């Protein structure tokens, strides 16, 4: 302050007055600037820390209807859970640590309903509802339950089911079969394979009485027909996806069996096998009735026997026809001994006998039913690598082909493993040939390190976030906050520091120095003090003259003094 006054006093008349200092150049302004900077740095550090502690939000539900969205947000408000919407409002986000608990609680409340009304519609039936309205509500409930079941599939985002249920009729000719249509809205980038489409068709057909799979139509959101029923009218001549899957499964099982039995002989990676199976999917029912003549040595079975015998009359007919000739014979009398013999009786008529025997015919009736899926023919090809021999001295690898006996042994083992049947027409080919790159050493399996394990990625993410927050806070403190607080800390330390009392030795030395001053030195000090007084008086006189000549300069000087004292 004194230096500034002296400079202004020494300024010759006529020089322009210095500019008024700004607010931030004053002591109060500097203090305000330092305080604002400290507050700003602290605010940034607190914001970074709060950002690091902010919860991570994840999707609770997505692609919901407006009605379900309103019910879900109302329930979250009642539970006091913070939530927010994703861009576009297609998903509700909640803190990750509460997502599973919230899903269970909302599921207990029946949310989300998916926009489909299920059998809960039947719970609020009013008294006096007509039969037609009851039937409509039942159909809506059934359609909603089917849509919910279909939406549980991972590839299906939304589904709608339309049922056409005809009225029952007592006349057979007027009866109609129900039909169903299913509209699927698939997830982005997802598609249904024929097996999944068939599963949806059977699911709908099994849920509606008298509904057949041929009367179920499945369409996706692009209008593509997924349930193609064109081959059903021709008796299903084309192969079903399950049949193709069965053929592939049979071939893979044969390959696995062949390779598993050859690997112990030639080593891992030295055998390759492929199989082709011809499967008969025809279902054949055969009924045969065969006849053949009986052979003489075989016992003959008698089916039936018929015999007849005809005996002739006792004599020629005699007498007069009528009642008198039809009298019974007389009483027989015993012959009298000694009496003359009677005349000989006339000879009797001849007797005929007929006999007929029927034997069973040799007949064979056979009913044969062959199930579908039988193997008609197998074709298997096996390639075996050459034998590798490692020289223990040099470590060099040499390759030599297998012996004929070894190839024959492998051939027999493959036949046993594949179930070779020559009568069926099976073929097998075993080839011994070197594989490409056989001299190259086997590559070691490198296990993933802990930093490349995907399971540790969430941990790395949290560590990186905390490290970033620590680095930002440290940078703000050491670069900005500490330099701003350093003057205040220094003044605080100086204000709170207790002055140390000088030691006795230092007091004695000071006293000795004071005593040691000579009269000449005291004269010099007095002369310097007089010069300072004379300079002060001269400056004061100059200031008085300047004030009398140009008071405006003096006023500016006083204003500067007052501004610097604020």
Tell how strand 91-95 and strand 57-62 pair up.
antiparallel
Residues 140 and 213 in one domain: yes
**If DSSP codes are grouped into helix, strand and coil, which group holds residue 130?**
coil
Calculate the average pLDDT of the chain: 76
For residue 69, being part of any structural domain is answered with: yes
pTM above 0.75, yes or no: no
Longest dimension (CA), the chain: 232
How many domains would you assign to the chain?
Answer: 5
Do 418 and 469 fall within a single domain? no
Residue 460 DSSP SS3: helix
Domain annotation covers residue 80: yes
162 token code pair: 């339309």
Phi-psi sector, 14: left (phi>0), alpha (psi -120 to 50), beta: left
Residue 27 lies in a domain: no
pLDDT tens-digit series, residues 305-358: 888 877 765 555 555 566 555 666 665 555 555 555 555 455 555 677 888 888
Same domain membership, residue 132 and residue 224 = yes
pLDDT of residue 273: 94
Same domain, 220 and 279: no
| Token code pair at residue 520 | 């000449």
Please check whether residue 177 lies inside any domain of the structure.
Answer: yes
In angstroms, the CA 168 to CA 211 distance is 14
Q: Is the pLDDT of residue 424 over 70?
A: yes
Lowest mean pLDDT among 73-87, 212-226, 316-330, 505-519: 505-519
Q: Are residues 207 and 168 in the same domain?
A: yes
CATH number assigned to the domain comprising residue 379: 3.30.300
Residue pair 553/13 in contact by the 8 Å Cβ criterion: yes
- Tell me the residue range of the domain where 476 lies: 457-486
What gap in Å lies between CA 422 and CA 536, rounded to an integer?
A: 135
Q: What is the band of 233 on the pLDDT scale with cuts at 50, 70, 90? A: very low
**Whether residue 392 sits in one domain with residue 257:** yes
The span from the CA of 8 to the CA of 129, in Å, is 106
Determine the pLDDT at residue 109. Answer: 83
What is the rounded CA–CA span in Å between residue 408 and residue 422? Answer: 17
Query: Do both 177 and 219 map to the same domain?
Result: yes
Rounded average pLDDT over 465-486:
77
312 Cβ neighbours under 8 A, 6+ residues apart? 348, 349, 350, 351
The residues near 470 (Cβ < 8 Å, ≥ 6 apart) are none
507 assigned to some structural domain:
no
Angle (nearest 5°) at CA 555 between 554 and 556: 90
Is 421 within the bounds of a domain?
A: yes
Q: Classify residue 332: in a domain, yes or no.
A: no
CB within 8 Å of 140: residues ≥ 6 apart: 117, 121
User: Are both 138 and 266 inside the same structural domain?
Assistant: no
Contact 351, 309 (CB under 8 A): yes
Q: Are residues 130 and 173 in the same domain?
A: yes
The tokens for 172 are 């057979």
Q: By the 8 A CB rule, do 248 and 266 touch?
A: no
Task: Give mean pLDDT, residues 183-202.
Answer: 89
Look-up: residue for tokens 């006795």?
A: 504
Q: DSSP 3-state assignment of 387?
A: strand
Q: How is residue 442 written in tokens?
A: 């086997």
Statement to judge: residues 166 and 124 lie in one domain: yes
**CATH number of the domain residue 82 falls in:** 3.30.70
Q: pLDDT higher for 156 or 28?
A: 156
Residue whose entry in the numeric block shows the structure tokens 């302050």: 1
Contact 557, 24 (CB under 8 A): no
Per the listing, tokens 């041929």 go with 214
The answer to whether residue 301 scores a pLDDT higher than 50 is yes
Q: Report residue 521: phi and psi, to 5°.
A: -65, -40
According to the model, what pLDDT value does residue 254 have? 95
Per-residue pLDDT band for 498 (boundaries 50, 70, 90) equals: low
Peptide bond into 112 cis (omega under 30): yes
> How do residues 360-373 score in pLDDT, each as one tens digit?
777 788 888 877 88
Pair (220, 128) in one structural domain = yes
The pLDDT tens digits for 531-566 are 666 666 777 777 777 777 777 777 777 777 766 544
Complete DSSP assignment for 466-515: HHHHHHHHHHHIIIIIHHHHHHHHHHHHHHHPPPPPPPHHHHHHHHHHHH
Rg of the chain in Å (alpha carbons): 60
Query: Which range has the worst mean pLDDT, 145-149, 357-361, 440-444, 559-563?
Result: 440-444
Query: Domain for residue 467, yes or no?
Result: yes
- Which one, of 530, 506, 526, lies nearest residue 517 by Cα? 526
Residue 371 backbone dihedrals phi, psi, to 5 degrees: -75, 155
Query: For residue 483, what pLDDT band results from cuts at 50, 70 and 90?
Result: confident
Q: Assess whether 260 and 134 both reside in one domain.
A: no
Q: What is the pLDDT of residue 252?
A: 94
* Whether 118 contacts 145, CB under 8 Å: yes
Which pLDDT score is estimated for 491?
A: 64
User: Of 97 and 212, which is predicted with more confidence?
Assistant: 212
Model pLDDT, residue 151: 87
Share of the chain above pLDDT 70, in %: 68
C-alpha distance from residue 82 to each of 58, 96, 98 (Å): 12, 11, 10
**pLDDT exceeds cutoff 70 at 392:** yes
């Amino acid at each position: 302050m004194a230096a500034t006054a002296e400079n202004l006093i020494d300024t010759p008349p006529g020089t322009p007055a210095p500019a008024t200092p700004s607010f931030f150049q004053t002591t109060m302004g500097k203090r305000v600037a330092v305080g604002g900077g400290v507050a700003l740095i602290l605010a940034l550090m607190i914001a970074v820390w709060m950002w690091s502690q902010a919860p991570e939000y994840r999707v609770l539900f997505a692609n919901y209807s407006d009605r379900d969205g309103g019910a879900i947000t109302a329930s979250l408000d009642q539970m006091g859970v913070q939530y927010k919407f994703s861009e576009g409002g297609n998903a509700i986000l909640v803190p990750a640590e509460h997502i599973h608990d919230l899903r269970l609680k909302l599921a207990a409340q029946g949310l989300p309903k998916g926009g489909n009304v299920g059998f809960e519609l039947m719970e609020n039936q009013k008294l006096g509802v007509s039969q037609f309205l009851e039937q409509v509500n039942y159909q809506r409930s059934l359609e909603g339950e089917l849509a919910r079941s279909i939406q549980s599939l991972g590839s299906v985002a939304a589904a709608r089911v339309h049922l056409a249920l005809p009225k029952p009729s007592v006349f057979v000719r007027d009866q109609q079969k129900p039909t169903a249509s299913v509209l699927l809205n698939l997830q982005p980038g997802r598609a249904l394979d024929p097996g999944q489409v068939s599963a949806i068709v059977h699911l709908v057909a099994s849920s509606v009485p008298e509904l057949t799979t041929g009367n179920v139509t499945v369409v996706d959101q692009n209008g593509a027909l997924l349930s193609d029923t064109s081959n059903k009218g021709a008796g299903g001549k084309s192969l079903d996806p399950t049949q193709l899957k069965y053929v592939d499964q049979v071939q893979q099982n044969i390959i696995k069996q062949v390779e598993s039995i050859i690997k112990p002989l030639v080593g891992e990676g030295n055998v390759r096998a492929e199989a082709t199976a011809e499967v008969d999917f025809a279902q054949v029912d055969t009924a045969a009735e065969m006849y053949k003549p009986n052979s003489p040595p075989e016992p003959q079975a008698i089916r039936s026997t018929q015999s007849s015998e005809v005996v002739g009359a006792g004599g020629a007919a005699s007498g007069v026809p009528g009642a008198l000739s039809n009298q019974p014979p007389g009483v027989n009398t015993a012959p009298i001994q000694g009496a003359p013999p009677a005349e000989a009786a006339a000879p009797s008529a001849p007797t005929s006998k007929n006999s007929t025997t029927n034997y069973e015919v040799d007949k064979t009736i056979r009913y044969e039913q062959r199930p579908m899926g039988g193997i008609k023919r197998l074709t298997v090809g096996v390639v075996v690598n050459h034998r590798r021999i490692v020289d223990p001295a040099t470590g060099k690898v040499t390759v030599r082909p297998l012996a004929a006996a070894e190839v024959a042994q492998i051939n027999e083992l493959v036949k046993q493993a594949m179930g070779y049947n020559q009568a069926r027409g099976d073929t097998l080919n075993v080839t011994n040939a070197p594989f490409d790159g056989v001299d190259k050493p086997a590559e070691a399996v490198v296990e993933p390190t802990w930093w490349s394990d995907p399971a540790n990625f969430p941990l790395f993410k949290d560590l990186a976030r905390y490290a970033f927050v620590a680095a930002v806070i440290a940078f703000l403190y050491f670069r900005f906050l500490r330099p701003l607080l350093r003057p205040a800390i220094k003044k605080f330390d100086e204000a709170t520091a207790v002055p140390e009392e000088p030691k006795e030795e230092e007091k004695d030395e000071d006293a000795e120095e004071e005593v040691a001053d000579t009269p000449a030195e005291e004269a010099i000090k007095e002369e310097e003090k007089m010069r300072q007084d004379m300079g002060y008086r001269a400056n004061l006189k100059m200031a008085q003259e300047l004030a009398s000549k140009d008071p405006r300069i003096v006023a500016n000087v006083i204003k500067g003094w007052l501004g610097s004292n604020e």
